Structure 1
Amino acid sequence: MKYLNHIALLFLIGNIGYAQTALYNSGNIRIHQNGQLGFHTDLINDASFDQNLGLAGFYGNTLVSVSGAFMPVFYDTEIANDAGVFLNTGITVTNNTNFVIGDVISPKNQLDVYFNFFRDAFYIGETNGSKVDGFAAITNKQVFSFPVGDSEQLRPLILNSQAENQFAKCAYFFEDANNPISLPNGFDTTRKIRDIGEISTLEFWKLEGSIPSTITINWNARSNMAAFTPDVQNITIVGYSKSANRWLSLGNTAIGGDITQGFVSSETFVPDDYEIITFGTLAVPQEILLLENYLLTPNGDGKNDFLVIPEMIELSPNNSIRIYDRNGLLVFEMTNYTDEFNGISNIDNRVIKRDIGLPQGMYFYLVSLDDLALNFQGFLYLAR
């Protein structure tokens, strides 16, 4: 049952002579366990709206907004509004966010407005058509994949920190770093250290956090990486240093994919030391070789149930393997691999669920043959 206390529903009259409804909270709303509250109109939250245990959903096909002096704190949230939910005031979620259709939108020039995932909060259903178009934030989390993007595409950033972040936030911009539309200052891509070749002028991420971390970002056809380099292994992550006032390389500790779709992981750095982050190229390309692409069908029929790479055992018993999903999230790693991977993750974090098999789709693998001092990469397709 749903219990609502002190709700005032007002009609707001605009200057041009039309009216729209809005839910105006000037008292105290609370959604109790199993309660549900659906917003088909704007929420103006000028009082406490927290300690919720039920579902707060945003529905319809007309843009609705959240504003007011207080940030509402929801337990479960569902976004099912074609036109999206616009945040003038941020939202915190303490449990699940279900992205069905429509974006959570926040002004990218207002750093204090964001969609916040608190401690144990998680999300499902993120797609190109449903994500956070603006700033997503985390509170008391160590590993997190920010479900951010622009109006057209989901472009997540995976953060893996050395300790729990008291607070961190991230947004994606499909804008030229030299002259961004959403930020007050530009970041000259010709101001760079000698080790950097080219720097993307198509897109960037803004990440804030005080804990030393690594990140993983992915590119796709819209990123136009072929314009910078024909060699995937030449791609790196670069950041505009606040102290040096120029672009520095953040490294490329893991790379997977091809020139039209792939991912790269950085070395450890402190996000707060950098204004923005994007793709660059190394002045001197690294060398890596290709192995075969594999099909994995772990259905117990004895065919392609495990990822079998004969070269690892036959040529280099001392080896290691890392497997990533299409966004660059590490899902499996092992030293001295002997054909153990069968579609089950062995990574212990809150981003992936180890009790069920990994979803069907394309994955990238990186192999190190230590006895030969060689590195390899390839694709595998996991079919269910």
Structure 2
Amino acid sequence: MKKHLSIPLLLLGLLSQAQTGLYNAGNLQVHEGGQMGIHTNLINDGAFDQNTGLVGFYGSSAITISGAFMSVFYDTEVANDRGVTLRTSVSVVNNANFVVGNVITPRDQSATYFNFLKDAFDVGASDASYVEGYVAVTEQKNFTFPVGDDGQLRQLILNSTAVNPIAKCAYFFDNPSHPIPFPENFNTHTKVRDIGSVSETEFWRLEGSATATVTLSWNERSNLAALTDDVKSIIVVGWSKTGKQWVQLGRAAMGGDLSQGFVTSDNFVPDRYEAITFGTMDTPDELLTLDNYLVTPNGDGINDVLVIPQMTQSPNNSIRIYDRNGLKVFEMANYTDQFGGIANTGDLVINRSAGLPAGVYFYLVSLDDLGLKFQGFLYLER
């Protein structure tokens, strides 16, 4: 009954304030099992932070969320092809479902953001629906930021050594030497000696006080062929706030080719850097390439599991498998043909027992007895 009484109170506030949109100056709450669909602007000048139901933003007219106070949703959903613009930050307790249309925040500063509270996560982020601007996480250690720009989802995976009080991230399809949203630039020619080149195509901004690694993925739009003809030279680089130059953030893992792949940095403190992107090192690490493999776990006895013949030559071995965004989904020491499309690692893998989705994955193999490391692609079909 209470959830039905909340709506008239909201509308009375709208009439008394003569605002365009839904105006909350009282105490609005969506209870467990309740659902509220919003098709117009939301102006929140009251309490809207004890929700246990779903608040969704729908329609084909642009929506703006503003007001004096942050709205805190338990579950929320975006299905609006014109997008939802934030003038005031919002938080999610449980789940944000991206269907179609972007959440848009100011791109020149990070004070307004789409925030995931402790244990909150997103589903459905794609090129059709992501956050164009800043995403934040509160009291989380590991997170995949659903950020993007100019029609593409360009996630950054954060793996921290400690829980972040708050961390924020945004992606920019822009030349860091001349970034449009910022008064300063991050000149790609100002770099330490051991960096060969720095991407002029895209960059991420990441804030966070906990030591962490990041994983960045690339695609054909990233234009890594403009940086190098050897994918094994790709590293993560960051613009140092104190040094005012690009420095190496290292490479703990890498997979792919120049058209698609990922790279994981070494540990660093994000707050010490203004921007992060792809760079190259002068001397590439030795990393050999094996065949590409097909895995079809359908029980017919053909390609049901990943078999890499070279691994039998080195009983002391290890394998890591990553999705196309660089999220590690499988890891095993002394591997003997166990991978059949089921994840055994990765906090963000949803419904793990159902199996990984079909698509392209990258594998990294270490043959410790032989002192060799390999990489390659595998294609998972269902």
Relative to the length of structure 2, the TM-score reads 0.96
Partner of 1:117: 116
Partner of 2:304: 305
Q: Is 2:292 the counterpart of 1:293? A: yes
* 1:338 maps to amino acid: T
| Aligned-partner Cα distance in 2 for 1:207–1:287 | 30
- The 8 Å contact of residues 4 and 30 in structure 1, kept in 2 or not, is answered as no
| Aligned-partner Cα distance in 1 for 2:346–2:126 | 24
| Aligned-partner Cα distance in 1 for 2:5–2:84 | 22
Q: Deviations over 1:20-44 (max 9, x none)?
A: 8311111111111111111111011
- The 8 Å contact of residues 293 and 379 in structure 1, kept in 2 or not, is answered as yes
Q: Deviations over 1:330-350 (max 9, x none)?
A: 001111111111111111524
| Pairwise CA distance, 1:11 | 8.9
| Pairwise CA distance, 1:214 | 0.6
| Pairwise CA distance, 1:266 | 0.3
Partner of 1:338: 336
| Pairwise CA distance, 1:184 | 2.1
Q: Residue 14 of structure 2: SS of its match in structure 1?
A: strand
Partner of 2:14: 9
| Pairwise CA distance, 1:150 | 0.7
Count of residue pairs the alignment pairs up: 377
| Aligned-partner Cα distance in 2 for 1:244–1:233 | 27
Partner of 2:323: 325
Moved more, 207-216 or 348-357: 348-357
| Aligned-partner Cα distance in 2 for 1:9–1:301 | 62
Matches within 5 A, 1:123-202: 123-202=122-201
| Aligned-partner Cα distance in 1 for 2:205–2:4 | 40
Moved more, 347-356 or 120-129: 347-356
Of 363, 366, 370, the residue aligned with 2:364 is 366
| Pairwise CA distance, 1:294 | 0.6
Give structure 2 stretches of 5+ with no counterpart: none
* 1:114 maps to amino acid: Y
Q: Residue 226 of structure 1: SS of its match in structure 2?
A: helix
- The 8 Å contact of residues 187 and 240 in structure 1, kept in 2 or not, is answered as yes
Give structure 1 stretches of 5+ with no counterpart: 14-19
- The 8 Å contact of residues 328 and 346 in structure 2, kept in 1 or not, is answered as no
* 2:315 maps to amino acid: P
| Aligned-partner Cα distance in 2 for 1:140–1:222 | 33
| Aligned-partner Cα distance in 1 for 2:207–2:119 | 20
Partner of 2:269: 270
Q: Is 2:374 the counterpart of 1:382? A: no
| Pairwise CA distance, 1:288 | 1.3
Q: Residue 236 of structure 1: SS of its match in structure 2?
A: strand
| Aligned-partner Cα distance in 1 for 2:360–2:139 | 31
- The 8 Å contact of residues 217 and 264 in structure 1, kept in 2 or not, is answered as yes
| Pairwise CA distance, 1:318 | 1.4
Q: Residue 271 of structure 2: SS of its match in structure 1?
A: helix
Q: Residue 367 of structure 1: SS of its match in structure 2?
A: strand
Partner of 1:230: 229
Partner of 1:62: 61
| Aligned-partner Cα distance in 1 for 2:240–2:76 | 36
| Aligned-partner Cα distance in 2 for 1:240–1:62 | 39
- The 8 Å contact of residues 347 and 354 in structure 1, kept in 2 or not, is answered as no
| Pairwise CA distance, 1:351 | 4.4
What is the root-mean-square deviation in Å for CA atoms of aligned residues?
1.4
Distance 1:374 1:4, change over 3 A: farther
| Aligned-partner Cα distance in 2 for 1:210–1:110 | 18
Q: Deviations over 1:37-95 (max 9, x none)?
A: 11111011111111101110101111110011101000110100000000011110101
* Paired-residue identity, %: 60
- The 8 Å contact of residues 4 and 29 in structure 1, kept in 2 or not, is answered as no
Q: Residue 232 of structure 2: SS of its match in structure 1?
A: helix
* 1:355 maps to amino acid: S
Q: Residue 354 of structure 2: SS of its match in structure 1?
A: coil
Identify the structure with the greater helix proportion.
2
| Aligned-partner Cα distance in 2 for 1:350–1:191 | 37
Distance 1:149 1:280, change over 3 A: same
| Aligned-partner Cα distance in 2 for 1:229–1:12 | 59
| Aligned-partner Cα distance in 1 for 2:150–2:97 | 18
Q: Residue 233 of structure 1: SS of its match in structure 2?
A: helix
Q: Deviations over 1:147-192 (max 9, x none)?
A: 0001310000000011111110100001111111112211111221
Q: Residue 9 of structure 1: SS of its match in structure 2?
A: helix
Matches within 5 A, 1:186-265: 186-265=185-264
* 1:3 maps to amino acid: H
* 1:150 maps to amino acid: D
| Pairwise CA distance, 1:320 | 1.0
Distance 1:131 1:277, change over 3 A: same
- The 8 Å contact of residues 207 and 276 in structure 1, kept in 2 or not, is answered as yes
| Aligned-partner Cα distance in 1 for 2:5–2:367 | 62
Q: Residue 70 of structure 1: SS of its match in structure 2?
A: coil
- The 8 Å contact of residues 3 and 35 in structure 1, kept in 2 or not, is answered as no
* 2:104 maps to amino acid: I
Partner of 1:17: none
Partner of 2:355: 357
